[in-house]
Amino acid sequence: MPPEGDDVRTPRCPVMTPSTVTADNPYPQVWGPPATLATRSDNLVCAMVGLPARGKTYIARKLSQYISFFYGSPCKVFNVGEYVLRLVDGKFQRANFFDENNLEAKALRRKASENAVQDLCEWMSGRKATKRKYPSETDGDKCEGSSYISGEFGAVAIYDASNATQDRRSWLLERLKPLGAKVVFLEVICSEDDLLAENMASTHRCLQVQEVLSAEEAAADFRERIGYYQQVYEPLSEKEASWIKFVDGGKEISLHNLRGFLASRFAQFLLNLHGQRRPIFFSRHGQSEYNQLGKIGGDSVLTAHGEEYATALAEWVDKEVKLDSEGKPRPARLWTSSLKRTRLTARHIRHDSICLPNGTEWVQMRPKMHRNLDEIYAGLCDGMTYEEIERQYPEEAAARKGDKFEYRYPRGESYTDLISRLEPMAHELERTRETLLVVAHQAILRVLYTYFMGKPREACPDVSIPLNTVIKLTPTVEGCLEERFTLLPNLQGKEKDPASH
């Protein structure tokens, strides 16, 4: 008999790991990571097209992040600007470096393009079947007698350059021909002054870090650089090519001769993408009764300490989320899961009305509930402590310790299931232009945080998402700036397993 007080559960069928062999099932289906051997036609190269300061690099990084995270496809960005910097020893080059009449600089830029294409081809054709805990985009280890791993849907390389003329695009297609890969051009067009100013400001900040130019000098130099590109620029019009045109932050998107699953994912993702760098705030719910007892899952309410955090969060939101850097009210949104502990945590947040510049009334932090944000489902283990799981289902406990990312609770979910469940939320997060607070759960926020920070998907289980803490992520060209705010001290011993799930 189990010790008195244990939550005894008798499932209707034996609990087993997916690879357990029994007399009734001698050939079980094994659940594991994808190991699809690629053919060359599975590969896709996305070549960026556009003038400077249009957001090409930002979009290239976001696409790479999205495809690799949600589809497990190897993806790597080859930025020609970085190759140029290597050739000039990292020294900043003034605008005349990009003048077509500057033959010495033109030769260096051509060499940088050649080097980037060569590395792209070697990376795409040289990927071999390897298995690592956190496979990186630079893996290139060789396994004798095996083909390269492409992921479930193929591998993607993004060639990030201006590709400003038809001759340059023809040259690129010719150089990529031996790969046998599909090539899609993505032209980024921007004519809106606000977007251009924001993109140029990002460049100015980089230049100021290098202490080369003042802000005014940087702006003038960059405008001159754009002028040199405009002299030779030819918009995409090649009828035989596959291309996407992304205009003014997604206000207009056109597709031409586009085929294939990953290419279609590009288009769908771009429909929800914009260039506005608004912050996103993540917070776990306040301490719940199950947190205090060390139980996983469930739909319990808050403890007194959890209620204290809910009150502190509402006060903090009034100052830090609903107001911009100048102290003026800004439109802001609030999302929660459907479970009690997140809705109770958010219930003290006020929903004031403000008037937007266009005269529209906006209700601040109007709560919106998403079931996709519900915590990972522990199946038969829902409501149990890890000690109870280890006693009653020792094989499950061992399997979870062996691979926390791939492990699926019996009749429940794994982190890979969460990633699939949260893909629609990623589209919604990218689409939303207002400041956003998401009050959700540890495993959910681990996945979203890992995605936005550009980390490998397998790193999800190791991300720290503590109680009583708000995480602020602000998108930049390079990634996201992260800030953490601890609103209350954690009560030691009150949450038995801070690393639950």
Q: Please count the structural domains in the chain.
A: 2
Amino acid at 94: R
314 and 259 share a domain? no
Q: What residues are annotated to the active site? A: 160, 190, 285, 375
Supply φ then ψ for residue 412, to 5 degrees.
-130, -145
| Cα distance between the two ends of the chain | 28
Last residue of a domain, one of 241, 256, 272: 272
Closest CA to 2 of 390, 290, 292: 390
Residue 213 and residue 206: Cα distance in Å, rounded? 10
Residue 500 included in any domain = no
Return per-residue pLDDT of the chain as tens, 501 residues. 444 444 434 443 444 445 567 888 888 776 555 554 455 557 899 999 999 988 899 999 999 999 999 988 889 999 999 999 999 988 888 889 999 999 999 999 999 999 999 999 999 887 544 443 444 444 433 333 333 344 567 889 999 999 999 999 999 999 999 988 999 999 999 887 777 777 676 665 554 445 567 778 888 888 899 999 999 999 999 999 999 999 988 889 999 999 888 899 999 999 999 877 889 999 999 999 999 999 999 999 999 999 999 999 999 999 999 999 888 999 999 999 999 999 999 999 999 999 988 888 999 999 999 999 999 999 999 999 999 999 999 999 999 999 999 999 999 999 999 999 999 999 999 999 999 999 999 999 999 999 999 999 999 999 999 999 999 999 888 889 999 999 998 765 445 544 455
If asked whether residues 235 and 315 sit together in one domain, one would say no
Confidence at residue 229, expressed as pLDDT on a 0 to 100 scale? 94
Please tell me the predicted confidence (pLDDT) of residue 279: 94
Same domain as 284, residue 268: no
**CATH number, domain containing residue 328:** 3.40.50.1240
Q: Which helix (H) or strand (E) holds 369?
A: strand 367-369
- Please check whether residues 290 and 372 belong to one and the same domain: yes
Q: Regarding beta strands 332-336 and 435-440, do their DSSP bridges make them parallel or antiparallel, or are they unpaired?
A: parallel
Q: Determine, yes or no, domain membership for 421.
A: yes
- Looking at the structure, do residues 377 and 427 belong to the same domain, yes or no? yes
Q: Rounded to the nearest 5°, which phi and psi values hold at 130?
A: -135, 160
* pLDDT value for 8: 39
pTM, two decimal places? 0.86
Q: Which helix (DSSP H) or strand (DSSP E) does residue 314 occupy?
A: helix 304-320
CA separation for the pair 372, 435 (Å, rounded): 20
- The pLDDT of residue 13 is 41
Would you call 423 helix, strand, or coil by DSSP? helix
